[in-house]
A and B are shown apart, each in its own frame.
Chain A
Amino acid sequence: MNAFAALLTALERARSTGRKLELLTAYFKGAPAGDAAWALHLLTGRRPQRIASGPELRRWLGEATGLSEAVLEATYAHVGDLAETLALVLPPPPADITAPETSLQALLEETLAPLRGAGAETRKRALLALWRAYPQAPRLWLNKLITGGLRVGVGEGLTLRALGQAFGLDPAVLQHRWMIPQPPSAAAFEALVNPDNATLHWAAPYPFCLAQPLRDGALPPHPSTAVLAEWKWDGVRCQLVRREGNTALWSRGRERLEDRFPELAAAAEGLPEGTVLDGELLAWAEDGPGPFVELSRRLQRKRVTAALQRAVPVRFMAYDLLELNGEDLRPQPLAQRRQCLEALLTPSPAPALTFSPRLDNTSWESLTALRADARSQAVEGLMLKHEGSAYESGRRHQSWWKWKLDPETVDAVLLYAQPGHGRRANLYTDFTFAVWDRGALVPLAKAYSGLDEATLERLDHWIRRNTKERFGPVRSVTPTLVFELAFDSAHAAPRRKAGMALRFPRIHRWREDLTIEDADELETLKARLLPHG
């Protein structure tokens, strides 16, 4: 645990990507396989289940320190991060005591795992003992494991790069092996990083090829006719794998979905052995894509009922053909893969399995006009891919672009603020915004990103001086400030107070020129954004 804690502390202080890469590589080189397996698991964003709830931890902290609930509440609000509050409020262990030598694997598997679901008294005794044993810096990371709130700002790409460097692996090979998620274990880790390991699981999808966003009116540096244009469908990006008489449907988040979509698994049975399709999973109504929330209903059910299948039909809209008859087509130009794809799916083996149609790419004018019409097609915009492009992994190449719609906007009033995480742990950065509904402000959306550091600091100062009430770390503020929020789309949400919800809301700008009376009305928003409701 100590080496992993030291790594996390050093990563947090590292200012450059190069330095982070160095730290990660050194850790993977030195760590025992069992520890490295867990570190990889945690660094790539998977979180251990929490062992104690926030209120439990605060109660136990109170018992351990003799501090009252009011004092701890105020302190927590000041720090904004419970794991850190716990680490700092508890007295440091005596200077002559060093942290236990427990390995990360032993800590997680032998100490923490058995505590999950154990009685409160058992968990409390165990955690108090851990808190007493570790100095403040590792104690913070220990607490993050206990609360299930560990977030490390390194990302999967960087972690895998470091792992590749540490073991001298070709990044493409590592990324491909990585596509099959494994529970963390020494054996799985050793198989992952063994340079001589040639076997790949039958279901392994390929690393996804991602697109660059087009910004500020820029267009790809090609004639429009050299670019394959498609709708940017608003669903879940997936790969459909047909090998060894089996079917696997993978989301980009490396989740297996075929059990939730039996109609797709059935449709895939018509595909030749050794086929991998890249595409978008969509809810499909009559003759067009259904709203994303419909698809969510299907995604949330591990086992699907016939009624739900009828209520929410789905479709796999294929973009690309990555493997045919067991041959890896990724190095071939897109134009050629596309031809094979269209031939393969004409006629389509089932209504649920089709390819994403090409759009008219005669000129940039025609594509611009199509993009302007994207909203009425219930899509997010256009995808543009150079006809000669190979299927590369990740986002670092320059041949695929997403050309999204301009976002919708709303002027909304700041109502609640909450501290952020990590670097922003004691800065108010997570906001709830409201709009008018018959003379009252109703919460509409939460938004975190979009303001620069200087503005956040200024806003933080304002929030502290204009707080009305506190609810734990959340503060309500006197409704005064108006912000322009951008969002991709809106949908009906009957359980929300506003009756609607926004997709990907983010802060566009602080409208210091507006007063709360200028904020938008819920009724007009609904009329504009929810045509059916």
Chain B
Amino acid sequence: MTTPLLTLTDRGLHCPDGDFTIDPWRKVDRAIITHGHGDHARNGMGHYWTAAPGVPILRKRLGQYSPVEGVPYGERRAFGPVTISFHPAGHILGSAQVRVQRGDEVWVVTGDFKREPDPTCAPFEPVLCDVLVTEATFAYPIYQWPHPDTVMEEIYAWWQRCAAEDRPAVLYTYALGKAQRILAGLNAFSREPVWLHGAIDGLTRLYRDAGVTMIPTVPVSEMPRSDRGAGRLILAPPSAAGSKWAKRFRGASTGFASGWMQVRGTRRRKGYDEGFVLSDHADWPGLLRTVEDSGAKRVLATHGHTDALLAHLQGLGIEAQALATPYGDTEDG
């Protein structure tokens, strides 16, 4: 009996034979990073490998001179007897699944992923494997995403409604990935600039540098103080809701773009005027399709909401278990 290729330790998903850890949450020497969100890419590791398009994001998060090495999608790297490669996950710019191979045994760690089209990043690429370690953020059959184009239309229509009423439209959205996806989507509707909170502005510049086409944007800090944002669309991270920063936009209609907006209890409790169902995570059909595409005989699910998915996969005769990780603690989506 050989050691398992990957095993969950108190630091992350560790590969004993290759001596590296995927998305570690405590200090390790060698870290393989699926993508740049805070619950997956943390400070203090000895060395980082990530998919090449994700390097600028990682450097922005971890510091300009942090030891980050980019690996092009599909290129193989050897770690002792173990070979790894990064494959597009379609979650955000530079996001990757990690394929881990030892002999003829293949594991794939999806990281966060989605199957819907997203003009800001490379589309998800199915990878065959024996064991699939999948995220399970929205792993209930109630989560079936509407087509993103429909959601973009809804966001634009809301912005125009607010403009007609001479009110600001403040859209709260995760600063990395979701915000840029919305900006790219809105490009089809308007050339009028969208205002950005500082936390979103910097990341949006990285996306522009990477060649992603988006609607014109201006940082809120560059707008005259007298302008109260009437008729404007303003993007801000959820942490800015109710802050001093947000007070400037008096009489604003507020919106929130997240997969969690699918459930009306959450929608009403969060207290935003509008909820847009837009997620960078896989929905239920997306998760099932990905398991099927992978051909995996064994599935390990992370991110906590795993009970329905495990029951369903077991019903299909697939060996399925939960892995307790701290991913998804920020409840972004």
Contact = CB atoms under 8 A, between A and B. Distances in A.
Q: Mostly helix, strand, loop or mixed at chain B's interface?
A: helix
A71 B266 contact: no
Interface residues of B, number: 19
B142 A422 contact: no
A68 B262 CA distance: 22
A443 to B, nearest CB: 25
Contacts of A89: 141-142
B318 to A, nearest CB: 13
Given A68-B311, A68-B315, A71-B311, A84 B305 contact: no
A15 B273 contact: yes
Nearest to A419: B265
B265 A427 contact: yes
Nearest to A78: B140
A78 B307 CA distance: 10
A92 B141 CA distance: 12
Interface in A51-91: 65, 67-68, 70-72, 74-75, 78-81, 84-85, 88-89, 91
Nearest to B304: A464
Interface residues of A, number: 32
Given A71-B312, A74-B308, A425 B144 contact: no
B255 to A, nearest CB: 12
Given A15-B273, A71-B311, A74-B308, A88 B265 contact: no
A75 B269 contact: no
Given A79-B142, A85-B142, A91-B144, A425 B308 contact: no
A74 B142 contact: no
A310 interface: no
Contacts of B266: 426
A176 B112 CA distance: 61
B268 A12 contact: yes
B210 interface: no
Nearest to B311: A70
B265 A80 contact: yes
B140 A84 contact: no
Given A12-B264, A68-B312, A75 B141 contact: yes
B315 to A, nearest CB: 5
Given A74-B140, A427-B269, A453-B269, A88 B311 contact: no
Contact of A75 (B142, B268, B273): B142
A357 B315 CA distance: 71
A13 interface: yes
A67 B269 CA distance: 29
A222 interface: no
Interface in A422-475: 422-427, 453, 457
B265 A78 contact: no
A423 B265 CA distance: 4
Interface string A7-38: 00000110100000000000000000000000
Given A75-B141, A426-B263, 20 more contacts: A12-B264, A12-B268, A68-B311, A70-B315, A71-B315, A74-B308, A75-B308, A80-B265, A84-B142, A88-B141, A88-B144, A88-B262, A89-B142, A140-B264, A419-B265, A422-B265, A423-B269, A424-B265, A425-B264, A426-B265
Interface of A: 12-13, 15, 65, 67-68, 70-72, 74-75, 78-81, 84-85, 88-89, 91-92, 140, 419-420, 422-427, 453, 457
27 contacts: A12-B264, A67-B312, A68-B312, A70-B308, A71-B312, A74-B140, A74-B307, A74-B308, A74-B311, A78-B305, A78-B308, A79-B265, A84-B263, A88-B142, A88-B143, A88-B262, A89-B141, A89-B142, A420-B265, A423-B268, A425-B263, A426-B265, A426-B266, A427-B265, A427-B269, A453-B269, A457-B269
